Amino acid sequence: MGCEFPKYSLLLAQRRKSDMFALQKKLAPTLQQWNEHLSCANTTCAVAGRMWKRVSGRSPSIRLHNAKYCFPVCFEEELRRRFEKLNTNSIAKPRRPHRMPLGLLMLSRGDIDNAQLRAVITRHREQSTSRIGECMQQMGFVGERQVTTALGAQWACPVLAENVTALPCECPVPYPLLHAFRMVPVSYVAATRIMLVAFSDEINYSALLAIEQALGCGTEACVAVRGK
């Protein structure tokens, strides 16, 4: 009997170890799912480290480039960081003039004459912060609709009709970023996952690409009167 008891204890310990290993293996997929559910790619996230708050509060999340972020705080912070980087890069690398200048385009369309164009160019040089289309409007040579139509021709994209009521669709992109790039999401077709984005100035295709990558949808650009 003295020899059988240690042997029995050893077999029991091995059985428990085997059962524990089987249980861990069985629970591994579930634990992995919970870990992904509770995680946040933002290293400064105040919620990710508080498991009970994360579970009980059912904090919503959204994916960006296959990384998960708490919504809306961490998601907006990451988007803001990406857009600011995008904006900095666009300033550091000036665009080469690859389109007909707006002034010449409006001259060719008959919106302004030679004397007005020269006056606008002079005014534009004096007010470097103003855009040439804004200078034309300030000087009373053209209306906002004429500038918008010319912008559509310059960027080869449609102009939002005046009789269309453009109500911004739901979009998780923070308003300050939309305002900085002078754009607004106008409509979204769920069947095709296409978002129509209106610009009141030049079309920023880098910003459109960022929206496509962040939201996993396609985008189409148009221009609209700024008052819309």
- Determine if the peptide bond prior to 72 is cis (ω within 30°): yes
Write out residues in the chain with pLDDT < 70, as ranges: 1-13, 19, 21-39, 46-59, 61, 63-66, 86-98, 162-171, 226-228
Q: Whole-angstrom Cα distance, residue 109 to residue 227?
A: 23
Instruction: Please provide the DSSP assignment of 2-20 as one string.
Output: TTHHHHHHHHHHHHHHHHH
Amino acid 52: pLDDT: 42
pLDDT digits (tens, 9 = 90+) for 152-208: 999 888 898 765 554 556 667 778 778 888 888 888 888 888 998 999 888 888 888
Please give the pLDDT value at position 30. Answer: 61
- pLDDT for residue 105: 92
Is residue 144 within 8 A of residue 201, CB to CB? The reply is no
What SS3 state is found at 92? helix
Token readout for 88 is: 């900095």
Confidence (pLDDT) at 126: 87
